[in-house]
Structure 1
Amino acid sequence: MAYRSTEQGATLIVVLLFLVLIMLAGAIAVRQSTTDLKVATSDQINTVLLQSADSANQKLETMVNGSPASEGYKDVTSATGALGHFILFEENKVNEFIYCFNPRTQRYLTNSATVRAPAGGYVDSLNNGICDYTKATDYTSERQAVMTQMSIALTPPSANAGPFEHVVIGKEIEDRTSKKYQFDIRATASLPAYKKPETPQGVKCFEQSSIKANVATGEKSLNECLLAVGTPSKMLYEQADVENVSSSTKCYPFGRGPMNSRCVLSTP
Structure 2
Amino acid sequence: MTAQELLTVRDLAAGYGAVPVLRDVDLTIHAGTIVAVVGANGAGKTTLLRTLCGMVPASAGQVVLAGADLRGVPVEEVVRRGMAHVPEGRGVIGELTVHENLRLGGLWRRDRADAARALDEVYQLFEPLARRRRWHGHQLSGGERQMLALGRALVARPRLLLLDEPSLGLAPRVITQIMALLRRLRDETGLTVLLVEQNVHGALSVADEAVVMSLGRIVVRAPAARLRDDESLRHHYLGF
Tell me the TM-score normalized by structure 1: 0.23
Higher relative contact order (CA 8 A, sep 6+): 2
- Structure with greater strand share of residues: 2
